Chains A and B, each alone.
Chain A
Amino acid sequence: MSIEWIIRIVVEYWPMFLRGAGVTLLIALIGTVFGALIGLLSGVLRTIPMPEKGSKRLLLKVVNLILSAYIEFFRGTPMIVQAMVIFYGAAMAFGYQMDPLIAGIVIVSINTGAYMAEIVRGGIISVDQGQYEAAQAIGMNHVQTMMNVVLPQVIRNILPATGNQFIINIKDTAVLSVISISELFFQTNSIAGNNFRYFESFFVVCIIYFIMTYTVTLILRYIERRMDGPANYVIAGEMDTAEDIKRKTTGA
């Protein structure tokens, strides 16, 4: 009977599931954070206004070209293939076996970075031009404008997309089992191979994946609400009416 088997599998194998879930979350979380940072950096670089002449212009063009190539290449090939190429490529090039966990984090980061770069670029473009102009008008340079005015708004704008990417990463780390990372999918495969109860084992892991992704969704919604701040503000000195304020400001 299936239900009995499901319970038996949970009871018997929970430490393996737990370890697998831990590895999956670790790779997905670190990969998303690094990917978001790569995306932010690349987004900022790709929106620097092009100087009209000089060596800076050439440098910026080269940087833009490299970034475009990176984004297009990693968006245009499957992560499972990238994993094979990077893992076995590194082994061939440097003659040593990368720690699969490190390799997994690197692959997910680079992959996420390629997606996030475009998301961030869109997020930067969608910030009203007036915000840049106001920052420039008080004397901020590009970096100051980005750090103090634009990026905080971009981060708020891209938060839903980043959360989405995190959820995708939780699911897609499953493909990393091809380079023998003992993440959740790999563990489940071992469990099922042990007891030949494929349906029950994968049914359990299905629920585990869903719990992980849904928890992340809830956490992200909470963070978004926190970032938007309270809907109301307190006027200094509290409860001042418009009349009070007028009286104060006119000094009467």
Chain B
Amino acid sequence: MAERRDEKMSTVVDIQGLSKSFGSHEVLKDINFSVNKGEVVTIIGSSGSGKSTLLRCVNLLEKPSGGQIIYNGENILDDKHNVHQYRKNLGMVFQSFNLFNNHNVLGNCVVGQIKVLKRSKEEAEKVAKKYLHVVGMDAYVEAKPRQLSGGQKQRVAIARALSMEPDVMLFDEPTSALDPEMVGEVLKVMKELAGTGLTMLIVTHEMEFAREVSDRVVFMDKGVIAEEGTPEQIFNAPQKDRTKEFLQRTRK
């Protein structure tokens, strides 16, 4: 992927003029940005700035109030588009893991493949074990979610999403609900994934991590994208005062 970076890269999702209101509360205003194939984009910004809402709009867990989401050249907000068909192309990792409580570790990674992708049980288990190995959880296939630590749960959740072999992985503060000593193991897995050329869109409060893995950093403030650029640009030479203030606050 790296050698193509200067050329016009192929876009995975392109967001145009996206807005979202809850009642009269306008949470996202005219958001424009895209994620390119093989790119790692992190979204940073203060609490309540709309980062989660944006991520949830991308896979339509929230219905945008306006704008377009272009995927494969088509606006998936058109009525004719099947939301479920679209969602299988995007993997989502939640802050609160949300592992299926009624399935064990293997079941969590297999059920979507069988029911949504219509893969055979054998194939699904093979794929699941491959990705459980990637996140270092392949020894725990039998375990139920309630028997795992937070870090282990999140790594399984990552494997579950990867097992669907999506075009892009969305992460919504994957380490925020973790005890400090478990943050590292999840970030390590994510860094490894970033190194494999996986397309990732990550909301995070981990600034060091964002600086390290990102190809591009998006800074959000009060429902708009205030600044966007390479990690060097955003962290070393921010242009906007809002960005400077935010970074100052997080450094303390």
Q: How far is the CB of B92 from chain A (nearest CB, A)?
A: 4
CA distance A204 to B111 in the complex (A): 52
Which residues of chain B in 54-111 are interfacial with respect to chain A, using CB atoms and an 8 Å cutoff? 59, 61, 84-85, 87-88, 90-92, 94, 96-102, 104, 111
CA distance A216 to B52 in the complex (A): 48
Q: Are B87 and A136 in contact (CB under 8 A)?
A: yes
Which residues does chain B contribute within 8 Å of A245, judged by CB atoms? 136, 139
Q: Are B84 and A131 in contact (CB under 8 A)?
A: no
Which residues does chain A contribute within 8 Å of B104, judged by CB atoms? 233
Given B94, B133, B147, B161, which contacts A233 in the complex, CB threshold below 8 Å? Answer: B147
Q: Are A133 and B100 in contact (CB under 8 A)?
A: no
Q: Are A236 and B142 in contact (CB under 8 A)?
A: yes
Is the CB of B143 closer than 8 A to any CB of chain A?
A: yes
CA distance A245 to B151 in the complex (A): 15
Q: Are B136 and A234 in contact (CB under 8 A)?
A: no
Which residues of chain A in 215-252 are interfacial with respect to chain B, using CB atoms and an 8 Å cutoff? 229, 232-237, 240, 245-246, 248-249
Which residues of chain B in 135-160 are interfacial with respect to chain A, using CB atoms and an 8 Å cutoff? 136, 138-144, 147, 157, 160
**Given contacts A130-B94, A153-B102, are A139 and B116 in contact (CB under 8 A)?**
yes
Which residues does chain A contribute within 8 Å of B136, judged by CB atoms? 245-246, 249
Q: Are A149 and B164 in contact (CB under 8 A)?
A: no
**Given contacts A130-B96, A137-B61, A140-B115, are A235 and B139 in contact (CB under 8 A)?**
yes
**Given contacts A130-B94, A137-B92, A156-B102, are A237 and B139 in contact (CB under 8 A)?**
yes
Q: Are A139 and B144 in contact (CB under 8 A)?
A: no
Residue of A nearest to B117 (CB): A139
Which residues does chain B contribute within 8 Å of A240, judged by CB atoms? 139
Is the CB of B229 closer than 8 A to any CB of chain A?
A: no
Q: Are B100 and A131 in contact (CB under 8 A)?
A: yes
CA distance A134 to B91 in the complex (A): 10
Which residues does chain B contribute within 8 Å of A229, judged by CB atoms? 144
Which residues does chain A contribute within 8 Å of B92, judged by CB atoms? 133-134, 137-138
Residue from A138, A148, A229, A235 having most chain B Cβ neighbours under 10 A:
A138
Q: Are B140 and A236 in contact (CB under 8 A)?
A: yes
CA distance A236 to B106 in the complex (A): 12
Q: Are B115 and A148 in contact (CB under 8 A)?
A: yes
Is the CB of B112 closer than 8 A to any CB of chain A?
A: yes
Given B100, B115, B141, B142, which contacts A144 in the complex, CB threshold below 8 Å? Answer: B115
Is the CB of A76 closer than 8 A to any CB of chain B?
A: no
Number of A residues contacting the other chain (C-beta, 8 Å)? 30
Which residues does chain A contribute within 8 Å of B157, judged by CB atoms? 134
CA distance A91 to B252 in the complex (A): 82
> Which of under 10, 10 to 19, 20 to 34, or 35 or more describes the interface residues of B?
35 or more
Q: How far is the CB of B142 from chain A (nearest CB, A)?
A: 5
Q: Are A248 and B160 in contact (CB under 8 A)?
A: no
Q: How far is the CB of A161 from chain B (nearest CB, A)?
A: 18
Which residues does chain B contribute within 8 Å of A134, judged by CB atoms? 92, 94, 98-100, 157, 160
Q: How far is the CB of B177 from chain A (nearest CB, A)?
A: 11
Q: Are A137 and B139 in contact (CB under 8 A)?
A: no
CA distance A135 to B111 in the complex (A): 10
Mark B205-249 against chain A: 1 for CB-CB distance below 8 A, else 0: 000000000000000000000000000000000000000000000
Given B59, B61, B112, B141, which contacts A236 in the complex, CB threshold below 8 Å? Answer: B141
Q: How far is the CB of A239 from chain B (nearest CB, A)?
A: 11
Is the CB of A152 closer than 8 A to any CB of chain B?
A: yes
Residue of B nearest to A236 (CB): B139
Q: How far is the CB of B57 from chain A (nearest CB, A)?
A: 13
Mark A145-181 against chain B: 1 for CB-CB distance below 8 A, else 0: 0001100110010000000000000000000000000
Q: Are A140 and B141 in contact (CB under 8 A)?
A: no
Q: Are B101 and A137 in contact (CB under 8 A)?
A: no
Is the CB of A195 closer than 8 A to any CB of chain B?
A: no
Q: Please name 20 pairs of A and B residues whose Cβ atoms are closer than 8 Å in the assembled complex, sorted by A.
A: A128-B101, A130-B96, A131-B101, A134-B98, A135-B100, A136-B87, A137-B94, A138-B112, A138-B116, A139-B84, A139-B164, A148-B115, A153-B101, A233-B142, A233-B144, A233-B147, A235-B140, A235-B142, A236-B138, A240-B139
Given A136-B84, A139-B87, A248-B139, 5 other A-B residues pairs in contact with their CB atoms under 8 A: A130-B94, A144-B116, A229-B144, A235-B143, A248-B138
